[in-house]
Structure 1
Amino acid sequence: MRPLLITVGSRGDVQQFLALARGLLAAGHQPVLAAPRRFAPLAAGSGVEFAPLNDEMLAMQDAVAGQGARAAITAARSVRPMLRRLLDDQAALAARPADAVVYHPKSLGGPYIAEKLGVPAIAGLLIPLYIPTSAFPSPILPARLPALFNRASWRVAAAIEAPYRGTVRTWRAEALGLHDGFLPMAELVKAGSVLHAWSPHLLPPPEDWPAPAHPIGFWTMPADDTWTPPERLARFLDEGEPPVYVGFGSSTTGDPEALTATALEGVRLAGRRAVLATGWGALQPGAVADDVLVIKEAPHDWLLPRVAVAVHHGGVGTVAAALRAGVPQVVRPFLGDQPFWAARLHRLGVAPAPLRGRLTAPRLAAAIEDAAALAPTARTLADHVTAEDGVATAVARIAECVESRS
């Protein structure tokens, strides 16, 4: 097969699609991964062909992060021309031969590229977004509602996409020559094939979902046996008890210095050492004590099994890595689906209650101690999650879609 994979978003969105591409390559197929150009180094050396996409919108998000509502509103005025350039890069992909298109809905163009090519369009969903259920509300719902409104809450995904629908419709006609039969993304996902790429042990399928929508397991990158930790990191881990990992990815409160100070004071009050990952600017430490090591990042599959507790933002990529590592978690959710996953981890018994609202050092210290007591449950759940192979299942499902179409 020659599958075309299209994803847009953060590293978490891209890395799981890269894991799928590597699985397809290992199975003897010829995948192409199209993703924002800033992630070309992530794919380098994997053997997967990489097609760079415009990443102006990511750069804009980086620029306005923490700058307040006025900066966000000003930046929003330039979104449509940026989106059109991103979509035009995707239109160029239609010149490539492909047997199927696996797309992240954030791409906005994926299913229409498949339509142009006349091949199956398969939505690769890293979180539940479009298949409604009465069992729980949409994970991206910004407010809690009575359970009576669970099914209705799933319309929020379509509402988020709606402001860009006119741009997508115009692009579909002008760039792809598809003038008739436009359907919005939400309808295309619900009517087409879906791969739900999370562990059923984290979130099992609700009873009102059809079998093809059942989750198949995380798309996990194979361990990098060539990665060697920096000497200072290896030495720090060897010099004492397993530390607490603290990392919030790209999430931020607008005051990364204050967030960092609170996090480190919470770890200190808990009587623990810490490895603090600055990531993409969420944490900005000044001078730190000897029992704190500051790094930019390290592979989660290497680092997390070596820590006592993982304190993070609740992004599903970090959730997956911590589950596989068998480490208890403390989640301070910021936005989007993060509160949803934080609540799920608490319900599963691998994390204390989410740290919503204002984070204080005493609250964080108490949560770290509560989490440490959950280590046996975390290790047991890890045995189940690591036994899954979401990538292999996805590869088989993609092959079935292609064969049924031929």
Structure 2
Amino acid sequence: MHFGLFTYGSRGDVQPYMALALGLMHHGHQVTLAAPQNFKNLIEGYGISFHPLHGNAEELIYSPECLQVINSGNDVAFLKHLFSMLSNMKEPLLESMLSCGHKVDAFIVNNLGSDIYGAVAEKLGKKMMIVQLNPPNITTREFAMPGLDWFNMSWYNQLTYSIANAVLWKLAKKTTYTFRNLLQLPPLKQSVFKQYIEDKIPVIHAFSTELIKRPADWQEQHVVTGFLTLPQQIIQNNYTAQAELVSWLTRGDKPIYIGFGSIPVPDPEKLRGIIEQLLTATNHRIIFCTGWSHVPNLPQHTNLMVISQVNHQWLLPQCKTAVIHGGVGTLAAVLKAGIPVIIVSIFVDQPLWGKIIAKKKNGLHIPWRKLTAVKLLNAINKTADAQMQNEAKQAAKNINQQDGVKNAVYAIEQYLVKP
């Protein structure tokens, strides 16, 4: 069967789909991964067929408008900007989706944008399945929507999902209908999210049950598989560590990893100052992975190694703790490495993962707007606690026993392949 995998966003929105693509290919399926144009070399480097979706995600996120929204930390404003951005490039984006959709048998899509992908799949008469990387928004009596979990009562828990999905639909509705009108599809009778439940669209939740258990009152097509991560051997074949980094790691104690992935930090000067203070006040060694962040005038120091990108699965087990933004891809790598994590969340799902991690005692959570050098140093000191170290190791043991890709492939074959 030929699957079209559709995702749009940062590397954290793309790499899990690369892992899934390789899993499906290993099971004899044909796969085309549709993603923003700037991921062409990365995806094709792993031997995966790539289809460009209109736009360069890194350029879009570095637009003045997007940076302003990220700096505000306002999730509603960010979602409004996201939907506005999609509408502004609707014709070429839709054309790129359709050209991929015509050649595949079924759609496997990121939940962010599932309303648009779903419209394209509907137009072409193709089956669809959703892969969700962030915390769930499927109603349950067992726990409240992450971020609204102020009480734990069955009626309240269910209500939180209704509220959150209603707000999301209000933000997405105009853009959804813009694309549906271009496709000459009829108006929906209700929220697209309610429609997906009614149509029993399968949803793979690609996170570990170590963080969120699958509720017993979910419908059978809502599954939790575990993290979607690239096989270690395949990553090693596609990554060679810099000789300078390898040498630096051998010259002292295990370092602290700091990295914000493909999310620009809201205030580069603030981060530069915090790194400088840590180097001045402590003997901690630090690896700073710049990713998509531009942090000028970083200090020259023997305890600081600056890199632009890295194989997390290779590096993180050699570190003693990790300071990250809380994107699920990087979070998965830290948890699998068995080291404590400090989530410095910026927006969207990152604060949710931060709160979950703190509750599970696998690490700590500091919102970016509250971050100071003193708070970060205190958090780093707390990660040396034996109980937190043991919790991190036990979580890694449990998570590494889960095969998220294998479980996801099984679910896909159950719902999209079998008649």
Provide the TM-score with structure 2 as the length reference: 0.86
- The residue number in structure 2 matching 1:232 is 244
Matches within 5 A, 1:258-269: 258-266=270-278, 269=281
Q: Per the alignment, in what secondary structure is the counterpart of residue 225 of structure 1? A: helix
Q: Kindly state the Cα deviation for residue 105 of structure 1 after the two structures are TM-superposed.
A: 2.4
- In structure 2, the CA distance between the partners of 1:268 and 1:365, relative to structure 1 (3 Å rule), is farther
Distance 1:38 1:291 in 2: 33
Distance 1:344 1:88 in 2: 39
1:280 aligns with 2:292: yes
Quick check: 319-328 or 186-195, which moved more?
Answer: 186-195
Q: Is the 8 A contact 1:169 1:182 kept in 2?
A: no
Q: Kindly state the Cα deviation for residue 277 of structure 1 after the two structures are TM-superposed.
A: 0.8
- The residue number in structure 1 matching 2:225 is 216
Matches within 5 A, 1:333-344: 333-344=345-356
- The residue number in structure 2 matching 1:151 is 158
Matches within 5 A, 1:171-250: 171-175=179-183, 177-179=184-186, 184-190=191-197, 191-223=200-232, 224-226=235-237, 227-250=239-262
Distance 1:77 1:213 in 2: 29
Q: Is the 8 A contact 2:290 2:309 kept in 1?
A: yes
- The residue number in structure 1 matching 2:127 is 120
Quick check: 143-152 or 85-94, which moved more?
Answer: 143-152
Distance 2:282 2:3 in 1: 49
- The residue number in structure 1 matching 2:20 is 20
1:103 aligns with 2:109: yes
Q: Kindly state the Cα deviation for residue 393 of structure 1 after the two structures are TM-superposed.
A: 1.1
Q: Kindly state the Cα deviation for residue 173 of structure 1 after the two structures are TM-superposed.
A: 4.3
Cα deviation per residue 1:197-227 (whole Å; 9 max; x = unaligned)? 1111121123433344231111111121222
Distance 2:36 2:227 in 1: 21
- In structure 2, the CA distance between the partners of 1:166 and 1:258, relative to structure 1 (3 Å rule), is closer
Q: Is the 8 A contact 1:244 1:308 kept in 2?
A: yes
Distance 1:341 1:8 in 2: 20
Q: Is the 8 A contact 2:9 2:57 kept in 1?
A: no
- The residue number in structure 2 matching 1:39 is 39
- The residue number in structure 2 matching 1:310 is 322
Q: Per the alignment, in what secondary structure is the counterpart of residue 218 of structure 1? A: coil
Q: Per the alignment, in what secondary structure is the counterpart of residue 106 of structure 1? A: coil
Provide the TM-score with structure 1 as the length reference: 0.89
Q: Kindly state the Cα deviation for residue 192 of structure 1 after the two structures are TM-superposed.
A: 1.1
- In structure 2, the CA distance between the partners of 1:135 and 1:119, relative to structure 1 (3 Å rule), is same
RMSD of equivalent CA atoms: 2.8
Question: What letter is aligned with 1:93?
Answer: C
1:131 aligns with 2:138: yes
- In structure 2, the CA distance between the partners of 1:17 and 1:56, relative to structure 1 (3 Å rule), is same
Question: What letter is aligned with 2:160?
Answer: S
Distance 1:372 1:278 in 2: 25
Distance 1:343 1:282 in 2: 27
Distance 1:186 1:28 in 2: 32
Aligned residues: 401
Q: Kindly state the Cα deviation for residue 379 of structure 1 after the two structures are TM-superposed.
A: 1.6
Distance 1:345 1:402 in 2: 33
Question: What letter is aligned with 1:377?
Answer: E
What are structure 2's unaligned runs of at least 5 residues? none
- In structure 2, the CA distance between the partners of 1:174 and 1:131, relative to structure 1 (3 Å rule), is same
Give every structure 1 segment of 4 or more consecutive aligned residues whose post-TM-superposition deviation is greater than 6 Å: 68-77
Q: Is the 8 A contact 1:138 1:153 kept in 2?
A: yes
1:385 aligns with 2:385: no
Q: Identical aligned pairs, as a percentage?
A: 30
Cα deviation per residue 1:87-118 (whole Å; 9 max; x = unaligned)? 332122232141x2111122332222332333
Quick check: 57-66 or 215-224, which moved more?
Answer: 57-66
Distance 1:132 1:74 in 2: 26
Q: Kindly state the Cα deviation for residue 321 of structure 1 after the two structures are TM-superposed.
A: 0.5
Distance 1:39 1:126 in 2: 18
- In structure 2, the CA distance between the partners of 1:264 and 1:313, relative to structure 1 (3 Å rule), is farther
- The residue number in structure 2 matching 1:394 is 408
- The residue number in structure 2 matching 1:368 is 380
- The residue number in structure 1 matching 2:173 is 165
Cα deviation per residue 1:290-329 (whole Å; 9 max; x = unaligned)? 1101111101111111101101111111110101111111
Question: What letter is aligned with 2:101?
Answer: A
- In structure 2, the CA distance between the partners of 1:110 and 1:355, relative to structure 1 (3 Å rule), is closer
Distance 2:277 2:142 in 1: 39
- In structure 2, the CA distance between the partners of 1:121 and 1:256, relative to structure 1 (3 Å rule), is same
Q: Per the alignment, in what secondary structure is the counterpart of residue 249 of structure 1? A: coil
Q: Is the 8 A contact 1:90 1:113 kept in 2?
A: yes
